[in-house]
Amino acid sequence: MGFGFVPASPPQFLDRREAGVALARLLERYAHRPHVLILGLPRGGVPVAYEVARALGVPLDVFIVRKLGVPGREELAMGAIASGGVVILNRETIDAFRVRDADVQRIVDTERQEIERREHLYRDDRPRPRIAGRTIILVDDGLATGSTMRAAVEALKREGPARIVIAVPVAAVETCDALEDLVDEVICLMTPQPFYAVGLWYEDFAQVTDAEVHDLLLAASPAV
């Protein structure tokens, strides 16, 4: 595992599918409600989101978020870009590392192309679903720092949803607490302490492929 740590209890979920089934039970009040849309964060969040959407009888789609890394220190985010082309910039980080505007734009353009590639790869020629006025349930396979989820929430808010719900099978308790101030509801099925990493709580945490994401979206109820 690379953490020098073995959980005191065994993994709580066999795989992402099982976690999605369990998570759906906490979201039953949203079942078959009009204007509800499940958005999975690819790639790992999509198998979880698929089971949630199937159990609730509501449509499924993806919401892609890409980090904008500081040049030479790509692990450090200076912003993010999301589905729909929404760009979020952290001017404090950009100024602190003296990133030139031309470099910011170059990285934005590169990541925008990657999002467009994935959008086409995942949903073929189907259009992006309507966000405005809907209840959006954002699903991932777990939350450690929550940075990707934060970026997704900030980007989604600019599209005018009526309500945003974050739902995950497992998360660090402090991350769930912090996200509660950003959205209407946060549902964390399990918040083990110590947390360490999302993958520790799954028996099978194999990487999800682009082909799997595509096939799950194709099998789900169409998002419109």
Predicted confidence (pLDDT) per residue in 102-123, tens digit: 999 999 999 999 999 999 999 8
In this predicted structure, the answer to whether residue 3 has a pLDDT above a threshold of 80 is no
Instruction: Give percent of the chain with pLDDT exceeding 90.
Output: 74
CA–CA distance, 3 with 194 (Å, rounded to integer):
12
What's the pLDDT score for residue 9?
A: 60
**Percent of the chain residues past pLDDT 70, beyond the cut:** 93
> Mean of the pLDDT values across residues 202-223?
91
Q: Which residues sit opposite 186 in a β-bridge?
A: 166
pLDDT, one tens digit per residue, over 25-41 is 999 999 999 999 999 99
User: For the segment 81-105, what is each residue's pLDDT rounded down to a tens digit?
Assistant: 998 888 889 899 999 999 999 999 9
CB 202 within 8 A of CB 107: no
Burial class of residue 209, CB neighbours in 10 A (0-12, 13-18, 19+):
exposed
| Per-residue model confidence (pLDDT) at position 77 | 86
Please compute the mean of the pLDDT values over residues 194-201 and round it to a whole number.
90
Question: pLDDT value at position 7?
Answer: 47
CA distance 135 to 16: 23
Query: Where does CATH 3.30.1310 sit in the chain?
Result: 66-123
Instruction: For the chain, give every residue range classified as CATH 3.40.50.2020.
Output: 16-65+126-219
Q: What is the average pLDDT value for the chain, to the nearest integer? A: 91
Q: Write down the CATH number for the domain with range 16-65+126-219.
A: 3.40.50.2020
Under the banding of pLDDT at 50, 70 and 90, the label for residue 4 is very low
pLDDT, position 98: 95
* Domain 66-123 class, CATH top level: alpha beta
